[in-house]
Structure 1
Amino acid sequence: MSHFLRKLSVFKRSSFLRIVAIATVGSGLLYANSDTNSRATLASKVPVPLREWKITQDTFPRPWFPSSSHWQFGVLPLFSSRVGLVPSSDKKNEASPAVGDDPKSCPNCLGRDTIANAAARVGPAVVNLSVSQGSYGITAGKSSIGSGTIIDEDGTILTCAHVVVGFQDMRGSYKGKVDVTLQDGRTFEGTVVNADIHSDIAIVKIHSKTLLPIAKLGSSSKLRPGDWVIAMGCPHSLQNTITAGIVSCVDRKSSDLGLRGMRREYLQTDCAINAGNSGGPLVNVDGEVIGVNIMKVRAADGLGFSVPIDSVCKIIEHFKSGRVVRPWLGLKMFDLNEMITARLKKRFSMFPNVNKGILVSLVIPGSPADRAGFRSGDIVIEVDGKPVECSKEIVEIVRDRVGVPLKVLVKRDKDSLATLTVIPEDSNIGV
């Protein structure tokens, strides 16, 4: 009886091995047993057609068996191979790199070093900013409050206004002192030379006898949702910190964020931004600064906002002239499109026959627009002789033309036209 059981055991084992061999050949997968005492071997004869079969490289989840010490949970790449000998005529094809492996075949692709290289270009110019806490000249300690970027060899540092200026001093010509720490450990005393509350942009100056690292400014006008970006700075006093993500929106309006009394547009990203990142640079994959990190949505992940560098450059130009000039018309405007106008035409029979334009939703009493004769419901179609389709175009036309009369063509009920002359005023509210 015992002899019969041994024969049966051998039969079952050999049958099991045959099954495993067939399954291994058919699937191309083999899990190695970590038991070094096992001497079982598998041999199989593979048909010729199977020798020409390839499996594209991918990942395959390795199953997890909680009762077995020989199996570990993880991923196992599928074998990309031929079973048996490979004909010499196919060896060249076998060795050719996959698409994207050769940097010359895809110059604009995101490579393994793209983000690291971009961060390395800007990193040395990113600084930590802190101020002394205390009153009446008595220092109670230092608090790290934000980040900045050196953008000029003369020691010009770009940062946020709320980082270097107390909110109680925002409306004045505050010239405070800021402690600046570079990534190489050097420290300087910086002076706040300009700060603008509405854009939340400020300039700090330091003086160095040696060369300072600088970051290159890029352009934010060509950014698209989905572009890779890098947020750099000193969150929670942790210097040399970078996070990466994508651009979520290129023109997030301040009204969308509940910021009233001003009209601004922000870059929205999903980069991790925390306290201390304010004032730090938002960088593209070419190692260029394309924004200034300014804020995040509290109690939310992946909702960070930056001031586009194109807007920042305009503010810097205003700083050079002495102050930031903001023309104010006193209008609340809404951009129209074909879908919105179709609904308005269906609802209001007297709505003008337009498909695009800017709808005036509110005229502030006593404002330049009110004095010029604007009405709620007007549709702006031309400003200064130029056709306009969005309020952003009006902002670009008005720019810093304070006190300069502008001719505005509007369409009213029953397609009546009116030409209005408005004189922008300098105001902290903005267009």
Structure 2
Amino acid sequence: MIMLFRGQIRAAGYFAVVLASLWLVSGNDSCRAEQSAVETDIRRDATVEAIERVMPAVVNIATETIINVRDPFDDMIRQFFDPYHRRQAPNSQLSLGSGVIIDEEGYVLTNDHVVRRADKIWVKLYTNDTPYEAKLISTNPKSDVALIKIMPRQHEKFAAVKFAKDDDLLLGETVLALGNPFGLGASVSKGILSSKSRSTPKENSQLDIPNWLQTDAAINPGNSGGPLLNLHGELIGLNVAILSDAQGIGFAIPVKLVNEALSEIFTPESSGKSLWFGARVRPGSVPLLVMNVQPQSPAEKAGLMAGDYVLKINGKQPKGFIDFNQQLVNGSSSEVPITIQRKAEIKSLVVKLIPEKDYFNADFVQQLLGIRLQELTPQLARAFGLNSRDGFVVVEVDKDSSAAQALEPGYLITAINGQTAQDMISAAKILQGKKRGEKVQLDVVAQHRRGAFISYRQGTVELTVR
């Protein structure tokens, strides 16, 4: 009897173990089924994933006051923000558009027309309702691209968008227009890439519809300045406008033109120190690509060439385009060590930056054209009846130059090859790269005195670079 009782207990124990095992298997199967259901959620497609990755980098941009500036984008701004603009009370914040963070330090890319009118700029993140104050770093009205910087709290880092490769565009591919209009939160519209930019922009010309991407994704009021993405969540354009006379036609500045604008407006030359580096590096993922190198520049003298990849600067890999330029400017020495890769070869170079004024000055202009110029003072501008100080007075003419036959001291130069220059550095840069024998056209104002009467004649003079 005792042996039978023990057998029964042993059998019951085995039975309990089997039941527990079956329960565990069943439970695991249930968990796997639930997990599989989550993983195969048909709603979570490439569109949703791209939005989730990038939306934390999308910001709303607002201003405290508006500066009245008349420019080519006035009609578009009025279309986008009326009647909101008219309803704004004095001294109230006006939401002007969106932007996208491109660097973890808080640098924000947006349209020039979004921030140009601002006395003060405020930025609100998608993930944070508390606005940050921001400052304008640089802007390019011709490309309608501007760079601002969020003033972080302590040592904050920010989510940043990734750039697509230049011209990595598929006609008809799905695109997403993101924004944060009026600080109301995320705004997303979906469409296709209807047309790539139709023409190559001319040098020093205003970008316009022929240079932009076209999409049927709705670019709503306030989305201007936000990112246009592909399904990889990469920036392929910067939302800029809609066509008022048509349905479903929006435009964005291609990332290639955005990169070109950034490489011009955020450089050692554009910094407060005005240092001459003389090379343009493509914004985007590392290693950074050197796009072009100016002749006779510190970069060229150091051995840097277009097509090189930057591996290190000051012994460290740059985090990105912004970090690279900051290290160039903020180093303890004007001599900056750079490690580059040229094809399969690794090279160590040292670039010695110099102040721009040490090279681009009156001596440089005189060497090329045979005339010595002086920047226009307010007194001289008034004497010539000009409202602007963008001009130069001829103070000396070399007798052995082509200028000796056309110019005299006292003549006023108002433009060089159709371009105005704010200072001597800008004037000299217009002439940079000109070779012996090339022609340079100057817009000239000459003063003529006849007794007590003074008259002014305007014309153009063509000089030969010597």
- Could you state the TM-score of these two structures normalised by the residue count of structure 1? 0.46
The structure with the largest alpha-carbon Rg is 1
- Could you state the TM-score of these two structures normalised by the residue count of structure 2? 0.42
